[in-house]
Structure 1
Amino acid sequence: MPANRSLGIMTRCQGSHFVDKGYYRKLTLFGRKQGIRVFVFSPRKVDYATRTVKGFEYRNGAWQSGTFPLPALVYDRCFIGPSYRHYKPFVEKLQNDPAISFLGYGLSGKWQVQQMLSKSRELAPYLPPTQLYTLAHLEQTLDQYGAAIIKPTAGTHGIGVVRIKVVDNGFEISGRGRENQPFRRVIKGRPKLKLFLSTFTAGRKFLVQPYLELHTADGTPFDVRVLVQKNGRGEWETTGKAVRLGDPRSITSNLHGGGKAVPLEAFLARHFKPSLKVRIEQQVNRLASELPAFLEQSHGRLVELGIDVGIDRAGNVWVIEVNSRPGRTVFQMINDPVAKHHSMTQPVRYANYLMKERVGGY
């Protein structure tokens, strides 16, 4: 296959170790049927002198290392986390290469996304009041609402998300620490709270929001994961929707924290009155159809988004987070084979569309 029919999956490889091998294997096999060569590579392994890159290709039932011509298209799966700074300059160099196009550019952080979405008249009402964390902003939120959430601006998997609640004898703090372990403690007095927070947030940026009761009547936290992707015609399409249920001891519903997934419609029918269920479904669908295109206008090209939607006890719908490198496990867990298949093949379909539409570069 010629280099201009190649799709490079850019990820963080430690030697031959990289995450999501099962997903990338399916992308490779589906790409082959479309006449597209798919391989996995680290942005740190590019040789610009020879215009090649060391990487891995799934062949003959195994991942095999090789040297590949730089791909025409790059699918960015370089997850942002504490060690991303080691990859960022290499990613940016690829992004600035005129011969290479990215299927989509990763969103930079929760605060930036919040700022972009707040400019939309349609989407702004779905955003919880949000500020960059300072002790003054936290105290203001606690005084107004009685409970607040702080979350890292660049965090994933619910790590570092903490609820602070005013209680009779001080402040109840619960959430997940840096090791993603749930914890709960009561702290007496603002000076001790200030000391705890200065240690907990040290060196990282956080957001502060009012605490929303995004849980069922029995206290199980949940959210709705909506996966939207570009299809083979270059248009946004909703691939699937699922409810993620968290550990009742936790304040978040992330699957990495021991959660599980269930189908949306049955869940809403069980927990909300029929008229409220219909309204919630309409609002979730509206978010799925309006948010991607609006975000893309502000941010630049995107290929897929995981939109995490919260529903509070009164049935109000909230945009909790938008992720440009979404996972797909939920559709396996709810046994939705169509959504599962589409979630794994749409990036190749979109790559095929870009190659056909824009032969010879952009």
Structure 2
Amino acid sequence: MSEKKPRSTVVSKWAKTKVLVKCKKLLPFIPDTQKFSESTLKKMLELYSMVYVKPEIGTYGKGVIRAELLKPNHFTYQIESTERSFKDYKSFYNSIQNYIQKKRYIIQRGIHLLKYNKRHFDIRVMVQLNPEGKWETTGLIGRVAHPKKIVTNYHSGGTPIDIKPLLAVHISNYEIQKIIHTLNELGESTAKSLHKKYPGLKQIGLDIGFDRTWTPWIIEVNTKPDPYIFNKLADKSMYRKVIRYKKAAAKV
């Protein structure tokens, strides 16, 4: 009887977070994340003023809620392009709970992302096992949110963009190179950390956002990242490499 093949994907955001927070190197870059409950939502809003309420299992940014405490007894949340306001916590929470129903959700500290043309952006970092069996960052691409949406995903109306012009709005070429080095290091450290727990993993996609202090935050890790976003770049060399590594890993 053949041994069970280790899984190559991990769908639970909570399971991935539990692994990553154990890594001292990564911990400073992981937003506070908790399981969703009435008391936890209230506590985290009091701590951070803005949080993201996310399905524990989900893709493409679907079902993500941005919840905010704007001032005492003024609560708001946004799902896709719909916004709602409340004057008390109970009705605010009940409305979110009515949307969530019985699905498992997590709450993540909200990061005020930097903007490009008045739209929030983050960076997708593609990390793959190379033909020598070592983790390598193979792709970096910016994702600029739709003006009316809270997520940057391409499938939710986000715009893929080369990271150099994206970052050049804010920083010099020298600083861009330092940021790229940081992204590569964070990506590979994340992959190695997850791979220890889930040895079947062969690729991951990190969504990394920067706040106003240029702290890189690991917003999400996808173990089945869409490689085709890199085909949206004018220069196809990055896309070709991603696909080449993906095909090589599939044969192992």
Does the alignment reach a TM-score above 0.5? yes
Report the secondary structure of 2:115's partner residue.
coil
- 1:232: how far off? 2.1
Aligned to 1:235: 134
Report the secondary structure of 1:151's partner residue.
strand
- 1:322: how far off? 0.9
Q: Output the CA distance in 2 between the equivalents of 1:275 and 1:230.
A: 28
Relative to the length of structure 2, the TM-score reads: 0.91
Counterpart check, 1:196 vs 2:66: no
Give the residue type in structure 1 aligned to 2:56: T
Report if aligned partners of 1:131, 1:209 keep a CA contact under 8 Å in 2: yes
Structure 1 residues 315-334: aligned runs within 5 Å: 315-334=214-233
Report the secondary structure of 1:271's partner residue.
coil
Aligned to 2:53: 150
Report if aligned partners of 1:216, 1:271 keep a CA contact under 8 Å in 2: no
Aligned to 2:14: 111
The 1:327/1:163 distance shift into structure 2, 3 A limit, reads same
Report the secondary structure of 1:199's partner residue.
helix
Q: Output the CA distance in 2 between the equivalents of 1:244 and 1:346.
A: 22
Report if aligned partners of 1:221, 1:250 keep a CA contact under 8 Å in 2: no
Q: Percent identity?
A: 27
Counterpart check, 1:247 vs 2:146: yes
- 1:171: how far off? 1.2
- 1:101: how far off? 4.6
Counterpart check, 1:223 vs 2:122: yes
Report the secondary structure of 2:218's partner residue.
strand
Q: Output the CA distance in 1 between the equivalents of 2:51 and 2:99.
A: 15
Q: Output the CA distance in 2 between the equivalents of 1:233 and 1:245.
A: 33
Pick one of 160, 180, 185 that aligns with 2:63.
160
Give the residue type in structure 2 aligned to 1:126: F
Q: Which deviations, in whole Å up to 9, do the C-alpha atoms of 1:43-101 show, x marking residues without a partner?
A: xxxxxxxxxxxxxxxxxxxxxxxxxxxxxxxxxxxxxxxxxxxxxxxxxxxxxx72775
- 1:271: how far off? 2.0
Tell which deviates more after alignment, 182-191 or 146-155. 182-191
Counterpart check, 1:137 vs 2:40: yes
Structure 1 residues 14-163: aligned runs within 5 Å: 98=2, 101=5, 105-163=8-66
Report the secondary structure of 2:43's partner residue.
helix
- 1:137: how far off? 0.8
Higher RCO (Cα < 8 Å, 6 or more apart) = 2
Give the residue type in structure 2 aligned to 1:288: G
Paired residue total: 251
Q: Output the CA distance in 2 between the equivalents of 1:310 and 1:270.
A: 15
Mark the runs of 5 or more structure 1 residues left unpaired by the alignment. 1-96, 177-181, 355-362
User: Which protein shows a greater Rg?
Assistant: 1
Counterpart check, 1:257 vs 2:161: no
- 1:188: how far off? 2.1
Q: Output the CA distance in 2 between the equivalents of 1:345 and 1:266.
A: 26
Q: Output the CA distance in 2 between the equivalents of 1:194 and 1:282.
A: 41
Give the residue type in structure 2 aligned to 1:162: I
Give the residue type in structure 2 aligned to 1:291: T
Report if aligned partners of 2:116, 2:144 keep a CA contact under 8 Å in 1: no
Mark the runs of 5 or more structure 2 residues left unpaired by the alignment. none
- 1:278: how far off? 4.6
Aligned to 2:205: 306
The 1:99/1:141 distance shift into structure 2, 3 A limit, reads closer
